[in-house]
């Protein structure tokens, strides 16, 4: 059964510690180690990316971008005095975005093509398509079901369409943020052509806008003109209906200070004024009559009746009466009441009184007549007022229909005047070559190319290369199932790692032409040429392979001390080329150099690598010794320097070489155990032969040799599973061909394994 390290002689493993919070940034060392492990791949991909970027820059034709700037202002005042209505910011933004789409529209681009005659420019009209393009076009027509309409298209129209399409690919129209500024960018290989095309696009757009405005106003003017004629007729008909209705109903309009009004309304107002005036006159005449009738001479002479003062006759009589009365008073006072002058003067005063009384009677009759006339006049005016009121009431009844007709006439007249004003304005706007857009900055020929940008291309190429390198490194790391660390080896096999053999030139050995010639020269002298790689453990006790061999012997010593004699060690790998033969040779030479009787056996009949490296031509081997055809002493070769004995494979009939049978092999190994202190067997790979399984009950301990970075972990598990049912003791595993600088980059690894215990002689327990 397999020897797992958890059941080793050092006692049970310590109990796992309680989980603790991971330290911060614990991933950083592992990440740095991963980058250092795959630095060559990442740097190579980055270098390839930069090289491709440089190649792209070297092969790409530079392009020049010319920029023209337009300002689209929907609130700019019209030269004629009108101003376009300004909506909210959303409407203005939508309008600017619409103009951006119109600039890049095919109609604008066709205008540029026609203006600059681009359909005849070879740059905008490529030549005949090649075989690949024709094949793609045929496949596209076959997949989409489109016919060959493009082949029957007019060549001039086809050239114009191709030039328009090519120009659309070079054009970029951008709105600057949320402003009304629009940038028109043209990118071509020619700087002058870029500027000319950018300015041509702005001119074509503005011309198209002017044409659109002119067409719109012209169509609107035509429609308005037709509508005006209709509205004029409707307004005239409505006004005629009003006038006819007035004529039928005797409704006459007259001019007043306040404007037009009906005649009966004017008469009614005048009669109201006349009634008021007549009433005032009547009241005045009546008052005058009553005062005149109640007036006396005393009242007149004393000035009580004021209205009579305006009569000249009455004024003269009153003056005379006053003078006569004064003289009468004076004469009476001077002459006495009986004096003749006084009597005469009294008679004169009495005559004046009679005259005043007569005048008062006459005036009273006059005032009475005026009163009667005023009264009659008031009655007449009131009768006329009643008649006018009746007429006005009838007119008001008739005006309900008149108001309806008048409202209709006014509405038609207002609509007519509005349309007439719009028509006049449209005719004025049609003659103004003004658009909402203006050129803020015309395009100039650019001095430097805009594409490709070397810095950006190189940065992007470097970034893509680094990204590809990192992705490739991660993929390789994820797909790499080989053994890279001692922990992985222990996890895959369950065995202790007995040693780490670094990859160094001293362990490199190949059977090339130089080696074969040197081998033949040594054989001619009767010597055997031993490769330096086999003597590395014996020559340098500080080397990695010497420490690995030392670890195997220490493990064997521990098991021997427990009662299991470990004298026959089998070195086995999962497949060929993992260094099992080289390690077996170093282990045997190191044991022989320490004075132990050591035998190295090449048991790999399918690939006798040790036999080809150490044996002389025509020598017998394991097959003949196992079959008892030759003695062991005749088949082994002895190294004169270390005393190592070597038993190889038979070199007779190489194509038919077969391993000994199980019984013969067990008998041979029994004899070898009795004759030597240490027997090291180079066994065939576990996945290529079942020799290790067949000899598991005879071999004391196995050493699993695995190549660093070359043996997949699933393959190791599969190989060891074949020995799971056999009572096979694995001393441990050895990791060969380790790249120690890279091995340090794996977490938890060091440059070398710690030294084992001092070696003890491998003897029977």
Matching residue, tokens 């595993």: 733
CA distance 746 to 483: 11
Q: What is the pLDDT of residues 118-138, one digit of tens each?
A: 888 878 876 666 677 678 777
Q: What is the pLDDT of residue 653?
A: 55
Q: What is the pLDDT of residue 505?
A: 77
**pLDDT band per the 50, 70, 90 thresholds, residue 339:** confident
DSSP state, 76?
A: P
Q: What is the pLDDT of residue 76?
A: 53
CA distance 122 to 142: 29
Extract the tokens encoding 591: 């044991």
Could you tell me if 612 and 511 are in contact, meaning their C-beta atoms sit under 8 angstroms apart?
yes
Q: Is the pLDDT of residue 673 over 80?
A: yes
Q: What is the pLDDT of residue 7?
A: 34
User: Which of the pair, 566 or 298, is modelled with greater confidence?
Assistant: 566
Q: What is the pLDDT of residues 58-105, one digit of tens each?
A: 898 889 999 999 998 766 545 444 445 455 678 888 888 888 999 989
Q: Could you give the C-alpha distances from 149 to 35, 134, 760, in angstroms and in order?
A: 58, 15, 95
Could you tell me if 186 and 69 are in contact, meaning their C-beta atoms sit under 8 angstroms apart?
no
Most confident listed range (36-45, 314-323, 349-358, 420-429): 36-45
Q: Which secondary-structure segment (H or E) carries 469?
A: helix 454-479
Extract the tokens encoding 215: 């067409």
Beta bridge partners of 255: 260
Q: Could you give the C-alpha distances from 144 to 134, 135, 421, in angstroms and in order?
A: 15, 14, 56
Identify the CA nearest to 555 among candidates 765, 751, 760. Answer: 760
User: Which of the pair, 383 or 525, is modelled with greater confidence?
Assistant: 383
User: Which of the pair, 2 or 417, is modelled with greater confidence?
Assistant: 417
Residue 106 neighbours by CB under 8 Å, 6+ apart: 164, 168
**pLDDT band per the 50, 70, 90 thresholds, residue 11:** very low
Extract the tokens encoding 545: 């392979």
Average pLDDT for the chain: 78
Q: What is the pLDDT of residue 77?
A: 45
Identify the CA nearest to 171 among candidates 116, 126, 220, 104. Answer: 104
Q: What is the pLDDT of residue 39?
A: 85
Q: What is the pLDDT of residue 140?
A: 74
DSSP state, 118?
A: G
Mean pLDDT confidence for 656-670: 80
Extract the tokens encoding 739: 């790249």
Reduce the DSSP state of residue 754 to 3 states and report it: coil
Q: Could you give the C-alpha distances from 95 to 22, 288, 436, 439, in angstroms and in order?
A: 60, 87, 11, 17
Could you tell me if 187 and 451 are in contact, meaning their C-beta atoms sit under 8 angstroms apart?
yes
Q: What is the pLDDT of residue 536?
A: 85
Mean pLDDT confidence for 281-304: 71
Beta bridge partners of 679: 568, 599
Mean pLDDT confidence for 514-521: 67
Reduce the DSSP state of residue 61 to 3 states and report it: coil
Q: Is 35 left (phi over 0), alpha (psi -120 to 50) or beta?
A: alpha
Identify the CA nearest to 359 among candidates 397, 394, 321, 403. Answer: 321
Mean pLDDT confidence for 378-392: 79
CA distance 683 to 691: 7
Q: Is the pLDDT of residue 750 over 80?
A: no
Q: Could you give the C-alpha distances from 107 to 170, 198, 200, 337, 540, in angstroms and in order?
A: 16, 15, 13, 134, 88
What separation, in Å, do the N-terminal and C-terminal C-alpha atoms of the chain show? 21
**pLDDT band per the 50, 70, 90 thresholds, residue 46:** very high
CA distance 658 to 743: 40
DSSP state, 528?
A: -
Most confident listed range (80-94, 182-196, 381-395, 649-663): 182-196
Domains and CATH numbers, the chain: 28-60+452-479 (no CATH), 275-405 (no CATH), 486-518+530-743 (3.40.50.300)
Mean pLDDT confidence for 225-234: 83
Q: What is the pLDDT of residue 195?
A: 92
Q: What is the pLDDT of residue 329?
A: 85
Matching residue, tokens 């009304």: 180
Q: What is the pLDDT of residues 529-575, one digit of tens each?
A: 678 888 888 888 888 888 988 989 888 888 888 878 888 999 999 88
Among 17-21, 193-197, 403-407, 424-428, name the one with the lowest average pLDDT: 17-21
Reduce the DSSP state of residue 745 to 3 states and report it: coil
CA 735 to mean position of chain CA atoms: 53
CA distance 283 to 326: 38
Mean pLDDT confidence for 687-695: 79
How much is the pTM?
Answer: 0.55
Could you tell me if 57 and 454 are in contact, meaning their C-beta atoms sit under 8 angstroms apart?
yes
Which phi and psi angles does 570 have, rounded to 5°?
A: -105, 125
Tell me what percent of the residues of the chain surpass a pLDDT of 90: 10
Q: What is the pLDDT of residue 66?
A: 92
Q: What is the pLDDT of residue 6?
A: 35
Q: What is the pLDDT of residue 302?
A: 55
Tell me what percent of the residues of the chain surpass a pLDDT of 70: 79
Beta bridge partners of 172: 185
CA dihedral 445, 449, 451, 452 (to 10 degrees): 170
Q: Is the pLDDT of residue 42 over 80?
A: yes
Q: What is the pLDDT of residue 126?
A: 66
**pLDDT band per the 50, 70, 90 thresholds, residue 598:** very high
CA distance 723 to 687: 11
Q: Is 278 left (phi over 0), alpha (psi -120 to 50) or beta?
A: alpha
> What DSSP string describes 375-405?
HHHHHHHHHHHHHHHHHHHHHHHHHHHHHHH
> What DSSP string describes 705-722?
EEETTTSBHHHHHHHHHT
Mean pLDDT confidence for 284-312: 67
**pLDDT band per the 50, 70, 90 thresholds, residue 420:** confident
Count other C-beta atoms under 10 Å from residue 383's C-beta. 11
Could you tell me if 224 and 422 are in contact, meaning their C-beta atoms sit under 8 angstroms apart?
yes
Q: What is the pLDDT of residue 12?
A: 36
Count other C-beta atoms under 10 Å from residue 201's C-beta. 26
Could you tell me if 567 and 678 are in contact, meaning their C-beta atoms sit under 8 angstroms apart?
yes
Q: What is the pLDDT of residue 303?
A: 56
Beta bridge partners of 601: 647, 681
CA distance 75 to 96: 12
Beta bridge partners of 70: 182, 439
Q: Is the pLDDT of residue 763 over 50?
A: no
Count other C-beta atoms under 10 Å from residue 206's C-beta. 19
User: Which of the pair, 510 or 49, is modelled with greater confidence?
Assistant: 49
Beta bridge partners of 729: none
Q: Is the pLDDT of residue 455 over 60?
A: yes
CA atoms within 13 A on the CB side of 415: 18
């Amino acid at each position: 059964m397999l020897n797992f390290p958890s059941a080793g002689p050092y006692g049970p493993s310590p109990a796992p510690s309680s989980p603790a919070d991971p330290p911060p940034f614990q991933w950083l060392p592992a990440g740095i180690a991963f980058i250092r492990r795959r630095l060559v791949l990442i740097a190579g991909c980055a270098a390839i990316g930069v090289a491709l970027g440089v190649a792209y820059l070297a092969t790409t034709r530079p392009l020049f971008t010319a920029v023209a700037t337009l300002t689209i202002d929907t609130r700019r005042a019209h030269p004629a005095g009108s101003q376009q209505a300004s909506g909210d910011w959303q409407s203005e933004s939508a309008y600017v975005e619409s103009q951006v789409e119109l600039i890049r529209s095919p109609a604008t681009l066709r205008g540029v093509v026609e203006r600059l005659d681009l359909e005849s420019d070879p740059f905008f009209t490529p030549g005949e398509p090649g075989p690949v393009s024709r094949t793609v076009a045929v496949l596209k027509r076959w997949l989409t079901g489109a016919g060959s309409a493009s082949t029957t298209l007019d060549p001039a129209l086809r050239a114009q369409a191709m030039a328009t399409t090519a120009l659309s690919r070079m054009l970029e129209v951008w709105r600057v943020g949320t402003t009304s500024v629009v940038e028109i960018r043209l990118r071509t290989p020619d700087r002058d052509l870029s500027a000319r095309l950018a300015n041509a696009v702005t001119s074509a757009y503005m011309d198209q806008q002017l044409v659109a405005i002119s067409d719109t106003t012209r169509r609107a003017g035509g429609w308005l003109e037709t509508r005006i004629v209709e509205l004029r007729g409707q307004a005239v008909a409505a006004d005629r209906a009003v006038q006819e209705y007035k004529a039928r109903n005797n409704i006459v309009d007259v001019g007043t200070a306040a404007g037009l009004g009906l005649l009966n309304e004017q008469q009614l107002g005048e009669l109201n004024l006349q009634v008021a005036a007549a009433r005032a006159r009547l009241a005045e005449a009546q008052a005058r009559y009553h005062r005149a009738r109640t007036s006396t001479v005393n009242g007149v002479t004393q000035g009580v009746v004021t209205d009579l003062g305006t009569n000249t006759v009455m004024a003269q009589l009153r003056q005379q009466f006053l003078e006569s009365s004064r003289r009468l008073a004076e004469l009476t006072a001077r002459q006495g009441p009986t004096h003749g002058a006084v009597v005469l003067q009294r008679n004169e005063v009495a005559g004046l009184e009679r005259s005043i009384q007569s005048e008062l009677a006459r005036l009273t009759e006059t005032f009475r007549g005026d009163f009667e006339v005023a009264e009659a006049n008031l009655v007449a005016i009131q009768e006329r007022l009643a008649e006018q009121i009746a007429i006005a009431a009838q007119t008001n009844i008739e005006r309900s229909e008149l108001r309806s007709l008048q409202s209709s006439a006014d509405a038609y007249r207002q609509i007519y005047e509005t349309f007439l004003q719009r028509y006049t304005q449209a005719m004025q706007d049609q003659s103004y070559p003004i658009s909402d857009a203006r050129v803020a900055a015309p395009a100039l020929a650019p001095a430097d190319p805009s594409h490709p940008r070397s810095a950006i291309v190189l940065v992007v190429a470097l970034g893509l290369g680094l990204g590809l390198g990192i992705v490739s490194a991660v993929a390789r790391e994820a797909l790499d199932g080989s053994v890279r660390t001692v922990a992985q080896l222990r996890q895959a096999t369950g065995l202790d790692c007995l040693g780490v053999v670094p990859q160094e030139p001293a362990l490199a050995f190949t059977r090339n032409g130089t080696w074969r010639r040197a081998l033949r020269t040594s054989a001619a002298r009767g010597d055997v040429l031993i490769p330096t790689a086999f003597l590395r453990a014996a020559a340098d006790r500080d080397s990695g392979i010497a420490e690995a061999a030392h670890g195997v012997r220490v493990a064997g010593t521990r098991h021997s001390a427990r009662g299991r004699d470990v004298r026959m060690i089998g070195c086995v790998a999962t497949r060929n080329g993992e260094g099992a033969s080289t390690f077996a040779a170093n282990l045997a030479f190191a044991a022989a150099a320490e004075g132990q009787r050591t035998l190295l056996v090449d048991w790999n009949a399918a690939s006798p690598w040790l036999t080809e490296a150490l044996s002389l031509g025509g020598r017998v081997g394991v097959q003949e010794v196992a079959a008892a055809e030759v003695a062991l002493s005749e088949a082994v070769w002895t190294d004169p320097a270390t005393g190592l004995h070597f038993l190889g494979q038979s070199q007779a009939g190489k194509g038919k070489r077969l391993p000994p049978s199980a019984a013969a092999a067990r008998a041979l190994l029994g004899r070898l155990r009795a004759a030597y202190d240490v027997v090291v067997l180079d066994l065939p790979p576990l996945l290529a032969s079942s020799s290790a399984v067949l000899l598991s009950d005879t071999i004391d301990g196995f050493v699993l040799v695995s190549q660093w970075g070359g043996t997949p972990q699933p393959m190791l598990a599969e190989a060891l599973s074949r020995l799971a049912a056999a009572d096979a003791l694995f001393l441990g595993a050895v990791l060969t061909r380790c790249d120690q600088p890279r091995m340090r980059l794996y977490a938890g690894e060091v440059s070398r394994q710690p030294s084992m215990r001092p070696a003890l002689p491998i003897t029977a327990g």
